[in-house]
Chains A and B, each alone.
Chain A
Amino acid sequence: MVESGRGNLLEIRDLSLTLGGNRILSDVNIDVKPGHIHALIGPNGAGKTTLIRSIMGGMPHKGTIRFFFGDNGRIGYVPQLLEFDHSVPITVFDFLYLMLRKFPLFLGRRKPMREQILKILSVTECEHLIDRGVGYLSGGEFRRVLLAQALVPKPELLLLDEPASNVDEVGARHFEKMLVQLKQDHGHSILLVSHDMQTILRIADRVTAINRTVTYDGPPENLSLSDMMTNVSSS
């Protein structure tokens, strides 16, 4: 059901979360607007990844998380770190096929699917990686593949958990450019967890700083130096 959300795409109200007796998040309130790049910042252990997992529906919590898009709307997710066995012979093609098709990979025809996957990879400029083993990708290459998979089918909201971690400076800038393109050219709404203050100041429309609860919520240019220092010093 599409509900009126006062122009919000995502509304988090009074969210609290306790794990093993420890209060991880307390009274978190966040509004994410459509077509925005909304950055989530905070020191290590502030509860950013827990908040992202709660949005994904994977954590029991108090309070409400409401999405204002249709039943068929989905969230595209790019995780922070993807742990997997590098010896498993999975290529980028296989990786995307497993996610996009129900018909068993070992019985399916490769050719028609290959063209579809090349098209998907071209959005993040990584179609040349299609036959590369996933375990042999660099951090930046893998981030681009993960971003490509998150865009299909088109999500209502893109959740990116520290997309620039383990990526070199050039790769991070390239990724940043891609996010701006996704917002401007394709109208994507992005909720981005990041420690990279320079990137946030350049591309974010709104910033929420959390340290177990919201410590700042507003435009990036109004962020206090102490908020920035807290975030940068612990990254």
Chain B
Amino acid sequence: MEYIYDIIRGWATAGYLPSIFEHTFMVRGLLAAIIIGPLLGAMGTVVVTKKLSFFTQTIGNAAMSGVAIGLLFGEPIEGTYAGLYGFCLIVALLMTFVKNRSRLSNDTIIGVVLAQVLGVGIILMIVVTSQFNVHQVEGILFGSLITLNDMDLITLSIASLVVGIIFAFNFNKVMLGGFNPILAKARGLSPVFLEYVFVCLMTIIVVASLKLIGALLVLVLVVVPAAGAQNIVSNLRQFVWVSVLFSTISTTFGLLLSGFLPIPSGAVIVLVSSVLFYGSLLLKPLFSKGGLSQGEV
């Protein structure tokens, strides 16, 4: 890892990058942003199509409980991986199970779980640490580059590679299942199984990106680039690539800007992402001429 850090730090020393990138924690942040940005953008297109935006938020909120559970089982505060991934995956699978087994609508199920997991997390955190440590909570909610370590970056890289490959080669099936489950079923696919696969992939990536973006803000990076892309694209291929572009610009430029401003990286990433969204909205009339052909309806 040090070899890669040295190269990027060297670019900062030579003046190709802002001098803030002479600090290792900023270099780690930049690498995390470059890895996670494109994947969140691509997966965001399915999240928007399947209307899973607040599902993502719930997973982010569940992270608080995950960290507390990890601490409870003796994991170190800087790397509560088993607690985080384990609890968030359980919450994701449970919500999907309830959705497929009950008549409750998706947003009702999410509404029930969304705040509960955050509240339970704060209570557990106080029980485990015997005090309310606002910095720990802040780090999870808004992201904390300072606490992003080598292990996080390695975990994030491996998770992104595995999730990226599985996602790409199941994209057609997952998108068809999200677009219309009846037709997917008629093609011999199992939309319910595909949904379980997708929520697991999504959970892994959301958890992997928490230290960079934060639990409260991760929703924005999953949804906003895809929503911005939707404003100006005319087909599914463009939808994915423009969303990837918006998301990558948001994470990398957001991180560059956060180097100059005393604001958490997640908040600046969200700001850049929002600028792109409103920009695409303003440009929508230009693109709609060549966009989806509306023809005679």
Contact = CB atoms under 8 A, between A and B. Distances in A.
Contacts of A135: 292
Nearest to A78: B186
Contact of B237 (A88, A106, A137, A138): A106
A112 interface: no
A94 B236 CA distance: 6
Interface in A16-43: none
B108 interface: no
A98 B175 contact: yes
B172 A89 contact: no
Contacts of A149: 183
A59 to B, nearest CB: 11
A133 B168 contact: no
B101 interface: no
A110 B179 contact: no
Nearest to B175: A98
A82 B294 CA distance: 19
Interface string B171-191: 111011001101101111000
B171 A136 contact: no
A102 B293 CA distance: 26
B49 interface: yes
A105 B292 contact: no
Given A77-B186, A104-B171, A105-B171, A89 B179 contact: no
B292 A84 contact: no
A84 B234 contact: no
A169 interface: no
Binding site of A, secondary structure by majority: helix, strand, loop or mixed?
loop
B294 A89 contact: no
Given A79-B182, A99-B187, A105-B175, A136 B297 contact: yes
Given A90-B235, A98-B179, A104-B171, A56 B293 contact: no
Contacts of B175: 98, 105
Interface in A43-90: 56, 58, 74-77, 79, 82-85, 87-90
Contact of A106 (B171, B185, B187, B230): B171
B3 interface: no
Contact of B240 (A56, A83, A106): A106
A91 B235 contact: yes
A90 B179 contact: yes
A104 B42 CA distance: 12
Nearest to A75: B186
Interface residues of B, number: 36
A136 B183 contact: no
B235 A89 contact: yes
B289 interface: no
B239 interface: yes
A136 B236 contact: no
A221 interface: no
Interface string B214-244: 0000000000000000100111111111000
Contact of A91 (B48, B179, B183, B292): B292
A132 interface: yes
B193 interface: no
A101 interface: yes
A19 B169 CA distance: 37
A12 to B, nearest CB: 18
Contact of B236 (A58, A76, A89, A103): A89
A2 interface: no
A135 B235 CA distance: 12
Contacts of B233: 89
B172 A98 contact: yes
A107 interface: yes
A103 B169 CA distance: 7
Contact of A104 (B51, B168, B180, B295): B168
A175 interface: no
Contacts of A106: 42, 171, 236-237, 240-241
Contacts of A168: none
A105 B237 contact: yes
A3 interface: no
Interface in B250-297: 291-297
Given A88-B48, A110-B237, A136-B293, A104 B169 contact: yes
12 contacts: A58-B185, A74-B188, A85-B179, A89-B230, A89-B233, A89-B238, A89-B292, A94-B236, A105-B237, A131-B235, A137-B297, A138-B296
Given A89-B235, A106-B236, A133-B234, 16 more contacts: A77-B186, A79-B186, A82-B182, A87-B230, A88-B48, A89-B230, A89-B233, A89-B292, A90-B179, A90-B236, A98-B179, A99-B176, A105-B175, A105-B237, A132-B295, A138-B297
Q: Give 3 nearest A-B pairs by CB, closest first.
A: A133-B292, A77-B186, A94-B236
